[in-house]
Structure 1
């Protein structure tokens, strides 16, 4: 039986790049993403100290999590969380203000789908110190239709579930963030966009370690039929090869379809992909049974 799974948001900050207004001793900005509650970032005492993560792409941010340091937690009081696309802090929109947060506590702040490449935490005022234990950013790649869809595949290699190819994590931190079938005849992976879209391009990301050839020869098919599990729909492109960890974009010229399939039409093949993104001009049909 084929299981259809849905999107689980991951912390997009983990594959971003961090910076802050100044570093106190060895308490650099990357410590807010190390997963440890016993370490924390720390700026110097200054005017308007800030911490920033560059998500590398524009996201629709649903929520931000902040974990306070286990001591001297009062320093975070009044911190402002901003989301946006500007290096100038004050040009970005405010998601939330941290009025108070207990020592070592984690708080979640809803950002309602605000779009931005940067998440910034800053404290306005003179003689301030900004210190964070951990930060998280959860959302979807902006414009990527795949994140609102549902994924399934012909079989599943242990833990490499179909939905991992639409979790907005291109798998560059760990390949278990990728999807993979078993070794079989005609392995396939399918995305249900839930609506019919006019697809302009599909972006496919390959795994970064071994076995990059498991993508070779995959056909990208787009259409509205589930005949043969959707694998009879028209072909957008054939993937000859994608280098390790690379993302290649394939133009589909405005093909209409609800389903996007990848299939390798050969015997004894494994289909592995770390991320599939779909970009289009908008929904053609707004109601789907």
Structure 2
């Protein structure tokens, strides 16, 4: 008899509270954090300027379903008119896609704007035009992680150079502008390694590795990605997913692991006097994250999936008419 199994895609969570915020300018003591502190009586506020903006950094990539904005409680409620919400993965305002445009929000009221699962680690609110002022009394963002398992794992490495700790490779910050505060690094040694413990066994679809962008980009050359369940030789004897010939400085390369099963993800550089520096490692599970993304792209944001038996085929991609793709689940 097959063992029962339950799979659930949770309802979106509030992901804005007390995240890192910034704004184009600051009026008085009205700091950008006031827009995500849960207190609608305290608001963020810019000075009058050209194209004022407010930015929320989520630290990880999320599928953003809804952005809820609460307007100011005074005679200036119409200052929100014409504001634009943008979601994306780039810290530059205009490099990200538009989620919604705000015609108006009544004073003290909260309006919800659907982003239909747009992917991003940044949420912007801005008002195009000259002499504009942006006031936000609360911004709530609802969504869920796109499927990066690494952010919930535990990292360790063979040695540590200064404060380049192992966990900096899974902090959601690719660290390319501030290497020392954003990347992990070993000392120069024989066969340096870095290991991620996922706490559970997963079938992994891909591993994304971000290289440093300073003097030493070639230090990554020849690194091996290994996946498995053994801690023998610190996990460095597990099967190989991929060998990294080279990654250009500051780039993120994805390596397909084709459903390899494992609890541990290791990166190791064989050889003497090697240094392993990682500015970010992202690990994705086979099937589930792809299904979430597909459903979100089709407008199905709040979804719960469950089954009573272990499915023999979780996701099957088939070609539909007009070159569209549909996703089906099969349970036996």
Q: TM-score, normalised by structure 2?
A: 0.54
Q: Residue 103 of structure 1 corresponds to which residue in structure 2?
A: none
What secondary structure, in the 3-state scheme, does the structure 1 residue paired with 2:172 have?
coil
Q: How many angstroms apart in 1 are the aligned matches of 2:231 and 2:124?
A: 44
Once the two structures are superposed, what CA deviation does each residue of 1:231-258 show, in whole Å capped at 9, x if it has no partner? 0000001111111101111111110011
| Equivalent residues in 2 for 1:52-201, closer than 5 Å | 53=55, 58-59=61-62, 87-89=98-100, 116-117=119-120, 118-121=122-125, 129-131=133-135, 142-176=146-180, 177-201=182-206
Structure 2 residue 251 is matched with structure 1 residue 246: yes
Structure 1: which 5+ residue stretches go unaligned?
Answer: 1-9, 15-28, 65-72, 92-97, 101-113, 284-289
Structure 1 residues 158 and 31, CA, compared in 2 at 3 Å: closer, same or farther? farther
Deviations 1:100-141 (A, max 9, x none): 9xxxxxxxxxxxxx9752524479xxx983157xx9x9x985
Larger-Rg structure: 2
Q: Is the 8 A contact 2:25 2:52 kept in 1?
A: no
**CA shift digits 1:27-55 (9 cap, x unpaired):** xx6458xxxx79x744669xxx9846497
How far apart, in 2, do the equivalents of 1:120 and 1:173 lie?
21
1:220 aligns with 2:231: no
Q: CA RMSD in A?
A: 4.7
Separation (CA, whole Å) in 2 of partners of 1:166 and 1:77 = 42
The count of aligned residue pairs is 223
- Tell me, in whole angstroms, the C-alpha distance in 1 between the residues paired with 2:199 and 2:153: 6
SS at match of 1:200: strand
Mapping 1:272-287, distance limit 5 Å:
272-281=277-286
| Residue 277 (structure 1) shift | 0.7
Is the counterpart of residue 229 in structure 1 residue 240 in structure 2? no
- Secondary structure in structure 2 of the residue aligned to 1:119: strand
Q: Normalising by structure 1, report the TM-score.
A: 0.61
Q: Deviations over 1:236-287 (max 9, x none)?
A: 011111111011111111100110000011111111110011112268xxxx
Mapped partners of 2:273, 2:144: distance in 1: 34
Structure 2 gaps of 5+ residues are 1-17, 33-44, 68-73, 89-96, 110-116, 289-332
